[in-house]
Amino acid sequence: MHGFPLDLNIDGINGAVLHLGLGQHSLQLGFDEGGVMICVEGLFKVKEHGRVIAEWTQDKKWSSLAFQKILDGVVIRYKVVNARLLEIELEDGLTLQIHDDSENYETAQIYFEDAGRPAVIV
C-alpha cells in the first residue's frame, strides 16, 4: 500500500539467523540479531536459485512445504528492489521476497527494538 522506503536500513539482519513465526493472517520474520521484526500480510515468496519453491498469501497460506528450507537460514544481505519488493537473501541460494501487492491494505510492518526508530508501515 505505502511501498518500501528505497533507503530502508535494516543492516542489523545481515549475518543473523532467521526465525519464522506463523500466524493465522500473517508471517513474522524475526532475527537473532539486529533488533528487527518483519510482519508480512501480503504476498511472500521463497526462491531457491531463482526459482519459486513456495508462496504464502493470507487466503491460500503456503503453496508448498518447501518453505521449511528457510528455517534457521542465515541472512547474507537484503535489497529494496523497488518500492513494491524487498528481497532478503539467505545462504544456500535461498531468497525471500516480500511484495507490497495491495493498493488498499497494509502488506508488511517492520518493527525495531530501538524505541527511537519508528515502525515502517508498507
β-bridge partners, 78: 88
Residue 43: partners with Cβ closer than 8 Å, 6 or more residues away? 55, 56, 57, 97, 98, 99, 101, 107
Q: Tell me, what's the pLDDT at 32?
A: 95
Question: Given a cut of 90, is residue 29 above it in pLDDT?
Answer: yes
Cell triple for 119: 515502525
Q: How many Cα neighbours within 13 Å face the side chain of 29? A: 29
Tell me what percent of the residues of the chain surpass a pLDDT of 70.
Answer: 100
Q: What is the mean pLDDT of residues 36-61?
A: 97
Specify the pLDDT at position 1.
87
Amino acid of residue 75: V
Show me where the domains of the chain are located.
Answer: 11-121
Q: What is the pLDDT of residue 25?
A: 94
Mean pLDDT of 2-24: 96
* C-alpha cell belonging to residue 36: 528487527
What is the residue whose three cell numbers read 513474522?
A: 28
The arithmetic mean of pLDDT across residues 31-45, rounded, is 96
CA 72/CA 19 separation, integer angstroms? 6
pTM: 0.95
Compute the chain's Rg from CA coordinates. 13
What is the per-residue pLDDT across 96-112, written as a single tens digit (0 to 9) for each? 999 999 999 999 999 99
Output the pLDDT for position 16. 97
